[in-house]
Amino acid sequence: MKNKSVGIIGIGSYVPEHEMTNKDLEKLVNTNDEWIVERTGIKSRRIAADGEATSDMAVFAAQKALNDAGVAAEEIDLVIVATATPDMSFPSTACLVQERIGAKHAAAFDLTAGCSGFVYGFITGSQFIQSGLYKKVLVIGAETLSRILDWTDRNTCVLFGDGAGAAVLGEVEEGYGLLGSELGADGHGGELLKLPAGGSRIPASHSTVDQRQHYVSMSGNEVFKFAIKIMGSAALKALERAGLTRSDVDVLVPHQANIRIIQSAAKRLKVPLEKVVINLDKYGNTSAASIPIALDEAFHSGAIKQGNVVVLVGFGAGLTWASAVIKWNKGDHTIG
């Protein structure tokens, strides 16, 4: 039996109200606006309010996606939350979201693949629908990275922001939706981007707090070199599996980590920058939330139209990478 075609039938996003500009960061750490913009392309980022957790932002994004899809929470069969900053180690953030939105018939789990998380979740969720097990899956990328940043480390604190993006997946007309994908990991790079303490290897203690081991630790140059190499190749593999080439790409939605990495991926794919979705300047790197936030903004601004070939591609801690090729179905091609 032929697999069902699966696409995004609803999308939504949320970012906190509080904006932290580069000028604001100049008051906290030894840096300046010109230095940050030149090296990263970031001008500002959003920071969660006191008491605002990952699940709160995930719920806002989920509700927008459900409304966009015209789907009731009770129709959702599975909730996947991609995050590196869960509300707590357990229960899963997905279970907290499931309860809050009223998806009482849904299974729920979290997925940890760093900044690649949303695409990992999208491809994973699609399998449940393609196989016929489920009909509607809610995939969310949500992060509150501001809570695990060392605000005295200018190499990391300038890069990240908070936010959430969500997509409702469902069956779509044949030929639309997910056409090809690529997932990968290289655990040899696990030490390059990590949160050292708080797990079973290095449990939380007075010593780990004093040594600032509960903050993001990153070997920036090594991660940059990895990203430059993997973004283009991952997208090309997904295109190959879809039976498409670089010239077929209408819109590229990359992980919003660094403008130079995005430009390198576009060059490798021979996609002009006017076809690349970039909102890094406004939000910084929101990790697993970055691709769905960018996708939501691009669609609702009219930059993505029905029938467009859209490529999602990201990389993240692990090290991981993920890419998906979609023929955009949003519109008349949704099957109830």
Q: 150, 144, 149, 176: which is closest to 307 by C-alpha?
A: 176
Q: Which amino acid is at 74?
A: E
* 1: Cβ contacts below 8 Å, ≥ 6 apart: none
* Annotated active-site residue in 22, 95, 115, 333: 115
* Annotated active-site residue in 22, 95, 258, 285: 285
Distance CA 255, CA 117 (A): 10
- Inter-CA distances, 135 with 75, 104, 119, 139, 179, Å: 8, 15, 19, 13, 18
* 309: Cβ contacts below 8 Å, ≥ 6 apart: 179, 244, 248, 249, 250, 251, 325, 326, 327, 328
Active-site residue 115, yes or no?
A: yes
* Annotated active-site residue in 255, 258, 308, 333: 255
Active-site residue 285, yes or no?
A: yes
* Enzyme catalytic residues: 115, 255, 285
